Each structure stands twice: as C-alpha cells, then as structure tokens.
C-alpha cells in the first residue's frame, strides 16, 4: 500500500518509470571504508548515522552506482532517442538526489542529461524489507 500511495503522490504509473534507490548510509564494505577514511577513523568505529560528506571518493562512488543502475535500465529497456524515460530516484543522501535533480543524469546512448521527474530526499532511515530464514518479508 505504501508503494502505491507514494507512486500516486509522485505521479508515477506502473511499468512506465525507472527507479533507483541508493542506500548511501548503508554500511557496505566500500561505503564503510570510504566513510571511515573521510572521518579519519577505523572501520570498527564507524557509525553510519554520522554526517558523511558528499564529496571526493564518496561522491564519486555514489554517482557511479546511481549512473550504472540507470545505464543498466537503458540496456534492458531500450527506448527511441525521442522518448525520455521517466526516472524516479530515492536516497538517504539528500546531496546525491539534489545533484541529479540539478545536473541531470548522463545515461548511455543519450546526448543530453536526463533530469529525474520524481524524487524523494530522506534524512530518516528508509523503510526496506528484511527477509527472515523462512522467506517471510518484514518492514
């Protein structure tokens, strides 16, 4: 229900948009190591609730991940050059979302950047599904 409500609020229609959700503060090894270096602390001391700046290696990594996701979509769902895909981007990094909304997204096979038409900035933890050992999903 929450997904359908969000889609309605943002004007998205099922199967008519491409979506990427970037977990910038989720402690993957790559993000954790970049954040620890940025904060000048060890990986074990890292608390992903800290303010991680959107610059340098962190900015490069998050932009690469986001761009790669949309490039994959352009390969899997090719569109004529005159059809601009509807793009939705959501992240727990406001700076990442704002960058793509302001500067657009350079997607393979397109001469001009595509600007996301729908986006969400989230500073709180984003809801996501956890799958337990019995394959039951929990928010």
pTM confidence score: 0.72
pLDDT digits (tens, 9 = 90+) for 16-33: 888 888 888 776 888 888
pLDDT digits (tens, 9 = 90+) for 24-83: 877 688 888 888 898 898 888 887 677 778 899 999 999 999 888 888 888 888 777 777
What number of other Cβ atoms are within 10 A of residue 130's Cβ? 8
Cα 89 to chain centroid distance, Å, stands at 6
Tokens of 26: 């989720």
Task: Please give the backbone phi and psi of residue 138, each rounded to the nearest 5 degrees, phi first.
Answer: -135, 140
Indicate the SS3 state at residue 42: coil
């Amino acid at each position: 229900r929450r997904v359908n409500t969000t889609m309605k609020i943002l004007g998205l229609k099922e199967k008519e948009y491409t979506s990427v959700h970037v977990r910038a503060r989720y402690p993957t090894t790559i993000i954790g190591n970049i954040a620890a270096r940025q904060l000048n602390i060890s990986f074990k001391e890292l608390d992903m609730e800290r303010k991680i700046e959107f610059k340098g290696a962190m900015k490069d990594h998050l932009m690469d991940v986001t761009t790669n996701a949309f490039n994959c979509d352009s390969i899997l769902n090719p569109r004529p050059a005159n059809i601009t895909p509807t793009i939705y981007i959501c992240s727990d990094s406001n700076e990442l979302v704002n960058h793509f909304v302001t500067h657009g997204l350079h997607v393979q096979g397109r001469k001009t950047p595509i600007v996301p038409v729908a986006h969400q900035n989230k500073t709180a933890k984003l809801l996501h599904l956890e799958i337990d050992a019995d394959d039951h999903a929990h928010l």
